[in-house]
């Protein structure tokens, strides 16, 4: 058949190239020339099929055995090296494909040579919290939350729709970079302070870097955000460009600039990840601390506390009392839930004043699923959860809500809420088992100011301290299940267990700073409701005082005429050395008019005296209505960024607590002191043989602290923690 086709090609009037294009030949044009060459060199015998005879294999069994011995000795040999070895030994060149197939069939694939890279650089004790964050699984938990949110956003219709959005002001950009002209554009400048709700609709998600980041890159950026308290003095991302921020090179592997960190935070903001991040960190810390502080007690205490942050803005925002400045001003308030050891496990941020009691109840419900797994004793007993609130949660409305929930509460009353007339069922006083005081169990009646006439009755404990002071605690725990001494002890344990730690944490990791500036103009619901209520009350009073008010209006018309007449004489007069100068007739007329004006005013006063309460109330309602009538709108501040950064800050504080508990045997130390005596220690890092050896320079002036640190480093080394590159941490104090 081959000879026949070759004959047809030669006899055809078509060219060889055209023949193979138009005719259906059993082989290609290239094969035709190959056959022609064989026919010329070997004749017809060269074209015969010799496959049935096995052909002449070039890769013989001897070669195969040689290659097997070669690769068993050194699997790191490349295909090129194997080919050269065969050629040197047998004088035959074998194709790379043949060698690769043989290696694959015989499980002799190439193995990369492990090169022992040794790298050194600056480091220090700041790597201790980084190592613990990696070792506890915190960083992985945060990364899982972020990657899950990224995947959900990718699969949503919002991501697909945003890809169709066009870039804004392309003429003001230079190779994708924002120019000064772009930043000065009125529309850009105006949108910069808009709220997230207004900006997210025009956001091109497909252009965001976070969607193209690898898991490893996300982990590095998480470590960078976690490290902000270590590399900045104020916890702000913009401070990363300062010399201290160069520590990121060894803390997270990349010396990020402030712009990179800031961009990553903003992209997290557009993902609206704060709620998921708060939830995932809460789940992590609840499980982490409960596994370490397991107890068979049927009561679990949770401390509720707030943190008010001043919001400096010329715009009218929600207000609250900012204690650090002693004034009512624009603010954000965060409500924190702490476990029984004072560790912050959950929080939420609110615009303006936040009702501790009301919000804490909703927050506890949100994390109740995680608490069930950690506060259940077998199948027979369920742990009772007690919310311990400070004086900010002692409103009767709040107490009523707590009493109707599945939670118990303990809080303290203000002095203005306590009178002997409200106390009943007083027991005999007894000595307090845990302090210098006498305690009395009783019942107290409190009236709900929001529901006139409603009386709230609850258990109270009077604490008469030996120094003369008296405190009154209230709770819905019955005496049968929770003794009087335990009520007092549980509340006042707030100070050593939670209050002092929380105060230290707020300053240590800069929780008191507001992050973010987006604002949205919204209806001031509180003011609108108040305006509606005041108008209704004012209308009722005006209807009740209809006749007196009509009489006063008629008198006021006469009064206005007299005032106008008085003004004429005043304008005629001159003032010299504080004395009015006027002609005698005009002076008499002026005095006469003034007497008439005073007489008319007395008539109005007389009418008002017949209805004193109603007129006083009406005046107050009118004044208050005039004061708030222009406050129907208010700016609501975005809390997304603030909540994201607070997640990292409280996680850092928890890691520091873990460091002190686990490695320093429960040593009590403030965050500020921890920074000064431990984290500020300098050192070097040497990476070799899969180990990250960190050599920390000893401080000769604090030998006692150094001994404790040396023991702590041994504890960390025994944990076998690995960094992001798989190198095991090994700390050593020099």
* pLDDT single digits (tens) 347-381: 989 888 887 777 777 888 888 777 765 544 444 44
Last residue of a domain, one of 57, 90, 123: 90
447 in the same domain as 350? yes
Nearest to 429 by CA among 410, 442, 414: 442
Residue 417 within a domain: yes
Residue 142 pLDDT exceeds 70: yes
- 456's CB contacts (< 8 A; 6+ apart) are 396, 399, 400, 403, 445, 446, 447, 448
Residue 526 CA, chain-centre distance (Å), reads 27
370 in the same domain as 487? yes
Residue 175 within a domain: no
Q: At 447, list the tokens.
A: 């009236």
Residue 665 within a domain: no
- The rounded mean pLDDT for the chain is 85
Segment 691-704 shows an average pLDDT of: 91
Q: How far is Cα 317 from Cα 90, in angstroms, rounded to an integer? A: 87
452 in the same domain as 426? yes
504 in the same domain as 392? yes
Q: How far is Cα 45 from Cα 147, in angstroms, rounded to an integer? A: 67
Q: DSSP labels for 65-120?
A: HHHHHHHHH-TT--HHHHHHHHHHHHS-PPPHHHHHHHHHHTT-----------EE
Q: At 215, list the tokens.
A: 């898991």
Q: Determine contact, residues 210/260, Cβ cutoff 8 Å.
A: no
Last residue of a domain, one of 43, 70, 90: 90
421 in the same domain as 409? yes
Q: Determine contact, residues 328/337, Cβ cutoff 8 Å.
A: no
Q: Long-range CB contacts (< 8 A, 24+ apart) of 20-29?
A: 26/1, 27/2
430 in the same domain as 319? yes
Express each pLDDT in 153-180 by its tens digit.
888 877 777 766 666 555 555 555 556 6
Q: At 683, list the tokens.
A: 């050192």
549 in the same domain as 461? no
> What is residue 225's three-state secondary structure?
helix
Q: Determine contact, residues 657/129, Cβ cutoff 8 Å.
A: no
Residue 363 CA, chain-centre distance (Å), reads 15
Give the side-chain half-sphere CA count within 13 A for 215: 12
Find the Cα–Cα–Cα–Cα dihedral 516, 521, 522, 527, rounded to 10°: 100
450 in the same domain as 512? yes
452 in the same domain as 350? yes
Q: DSSP labels for 256-276?
A: --HHHHHHHHHHHHHTT-HHH
Residue 271 pLDDT exceeds 60: yes
pLDDT at 670 (0 to 100) = 86
Largest CA distance in the chain: 153
Residue 670 within a domain: no
Helix boundaries (H) for 156-273: 157-162, 180-183, 186-191, 196-199, 215-226, 228-231, 248-251, 258-270
Q: How far is Cα 733 from Cα 696, in angstroms, rounded to an integer? A: 5
Residue 412 within a domain: yes
Q: At 315, list the tokens.
A: 């715009």
Last residue of a domain, one of 90, 107, 132: 90
Beta bridge partners of 348: 335
Nearest to 264 by CA among 583, 644, 557, 626: 644
Sign of the alpha-carbon dihedral angle for 148, 176, 517, 515: positive
Residue 567 within a domain: yes
530 in the same domain as 516? no
Q: Determine contact, residues 282/646, Cβ cutoff 8 Å.
A: no
Q: Does residue 595 or residue 497 have the better pLDDT?
A: 595
Mean pLDDT lowest for which of 70-84, 190-204, 425-439?
190-204
Mean pLDDT lowest for which of 22-36, 509-523, 542-556, 686-700?
22-36
pLDDT at 117 (0 to 100) = 58
Residue 187 within a domain: no
Q: Does residue 225 or residue 518 have the better pLDDT?
A: 225
Share of the chain above pLDDT 90, in %: 36
Q: How far is Cα 542 from Cα 536, in angstroms, rounded to an integer? A: 10
Q: Does residue 113 or residue 291 have the better pLDDT?
A: 291
Residue 463 within a domain: yes
Mean pLDDT lowest for which of 124-138, 172-186, 466-480?
172-186
Q: Determine contact, residues 249/255, Cβ cutoff 8 Å.
A: yes
CB atoms within 10 A of CB 19: 18
Helix boundaries (H) for 545-583: 546-572
Beta bridge partners of 46: none
**Locus of tokens 């708060």:** 278
Size (the chain), residues: 734
Q: At 610, list the tokens.
A: 């017949």
Range of the domain at 627: 525-631
CB atoms within 10 A of CB 308: 20
**How buried is residue 369: exposed, middle or buried, by Cβ count under 10 Å (0-12/13-18/19+)?**
exposed
CATH number of the domain that 374 lies in? 3.90.350.10
Segment 487-513 shows an average pLDDT of: 83
516 in the same domain as 530? no
Query: What pTM was computed for the model?
Result: 0.75
Residue 251 pLDDT exceeds 70: yes
Provide the number of structural domains found in the chain. 3
Beta bridge partners of 728: 691, 722
626 in the same domain as 534? yes
Secondary structure letter of residue 316 according to DSSP: -
């Amino acid at each position: 058949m081959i000879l026949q086709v070759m004959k047809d090609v030669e006899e055809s009037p078509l060219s060889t190239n055209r023949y193979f294009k138009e005719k259906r030949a059993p082989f290609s044009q290239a094969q035709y020339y190959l056959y022609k060459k064989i026919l010329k060199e070997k004749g017809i015998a060269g074209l015969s099929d010799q496959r049935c005879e096995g052909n002449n294999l070039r890769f013989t069994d001897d070669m195969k055995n040689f290659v097997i011995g070669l690769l068993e000795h050194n699997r790191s040999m490349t295909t090129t090296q194997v080919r050269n070895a065969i050629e040197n030994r047998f004088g035959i060149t074998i194709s790379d494909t043949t060698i690769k197939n043989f290696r694959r069939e015989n499980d002799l694939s190439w193995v990369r040579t492990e090169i022992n890279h040794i790298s050194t650089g600056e480091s220090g004790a700041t790597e201790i919290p980084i190592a613990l964050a990696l070792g506890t699984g915190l960083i992985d938990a945060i990364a899982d939350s972020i990657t899950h949110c990224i995947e959900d956003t990718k699969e949503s219709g919002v991501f697909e729709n945003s890809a169709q959005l066009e870039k804004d002001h392309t003429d003001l950009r230079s190779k994708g970079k924002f120019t000064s002209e772009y930043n000065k554009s009125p529309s850009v400048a105006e949108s910069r302070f808009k709220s997230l709700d207004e900006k997210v609709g025009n956001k091109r998600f497909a252009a965001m870097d976070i969607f193209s980041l690898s898991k490893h890159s996300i982990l590095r950026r998480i470590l960078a955000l976690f490290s902000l308290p270590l590399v900045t003095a104020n916890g702000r991302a913009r401070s990363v460009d300062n010399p201290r921020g160069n520590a990121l090179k060894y803390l997270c592997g990349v010396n990020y600039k402030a712009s990179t960190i800031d961009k990553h935070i903003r992209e997290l903001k557009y993902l609206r990840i704060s709620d998921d991040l708060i939830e995932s960190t809460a789940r992590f810390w609840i499980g982490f601390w409960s596994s370490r502080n397991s107890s068979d007690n049927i009561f679990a205490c949770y401390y509720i506390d707030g943190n008010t942050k001043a919001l400096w803005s010329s715009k009218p925002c929600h207000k609250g009392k900012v204690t650090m400045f002693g004034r009512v001003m624009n603010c954000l308030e965060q409500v924190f839930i702490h476990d029984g050891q004072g560790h912050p496990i959950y929080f939420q941020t609110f615009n303006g004043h936040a009702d501790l009691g009301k919000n804490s109840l909703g927050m506890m419900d949100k994390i109740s699923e995680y608490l069930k797994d950690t506060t259940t004793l077998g199948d027979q007993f369920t742990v009772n959860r007690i919310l311990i609130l400070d004086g900010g949660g002692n409103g009767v409305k709040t107490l009523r809500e707590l009493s109707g929930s599945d939670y118990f509460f303990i809080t303290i009353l203000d002095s203005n809420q306590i009178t002997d007339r409200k106390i009943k069922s007083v027991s005999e006083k007894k000595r307090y088992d845990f302090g210098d005081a006498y305690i009395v169990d009783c019942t107290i009646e409190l009236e709900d100011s929001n529901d006139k006439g409603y009386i709230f009755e609850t258990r109270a404990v009077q604490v008469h301290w030996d120094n003369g002071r008296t405190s009154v605690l209230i709770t819905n725990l019955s005496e049968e299940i929770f003794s009087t001494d335990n009520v007092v002890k549980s509340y006042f344990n707030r100070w050593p267990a939670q209050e002092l730690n929380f105060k230290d944490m707020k300053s240590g990791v800069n929780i008191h700073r507001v992050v973010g500036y987006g604002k949205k103009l919204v209806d001031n619901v509180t003011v609108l409701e108040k305006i509606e209520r005041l108008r209704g009350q004012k209308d009722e009073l005006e209807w009740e005082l209809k006749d007196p008010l009509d009489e006063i209006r008629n008198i006021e018309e006469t009064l206005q005429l007299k005032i106008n007449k008085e003004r004429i004489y005043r304008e005629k007069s001159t003032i010299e050395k504080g004395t009015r100068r006027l002609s005698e007739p005009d002076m008499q007329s002026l005095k006469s008019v003034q007497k008439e004006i005073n007489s008319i005013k007395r008539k109005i006063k007389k009418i008002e005296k017949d209805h004193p309460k109603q007129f006083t109330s009406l005046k107050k309602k009118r004044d208050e209505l005039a004061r708030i009538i222009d406050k129907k709108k208010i700016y609501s501040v975005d809390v997304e960024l603030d909540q994201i950064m607070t997640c990292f800050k409280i996680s850092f504080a928890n890691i520091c607590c873990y460091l002190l508990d686990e490695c320093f045997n429960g040593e009590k130390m403030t965050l500020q002191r921890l920074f000064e005596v431990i984290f500020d220690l300098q050192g070097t890092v040497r990476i070799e043989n899969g180990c990250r050896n960190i050599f920390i320079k000893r401080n000769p002036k604090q030998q006692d602290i150094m001994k404790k640190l040396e023991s702590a480093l041994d504890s960390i080394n025994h944990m076998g923690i690995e960094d992001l590159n798989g190198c095991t941490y090994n700390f050593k104090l020099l």
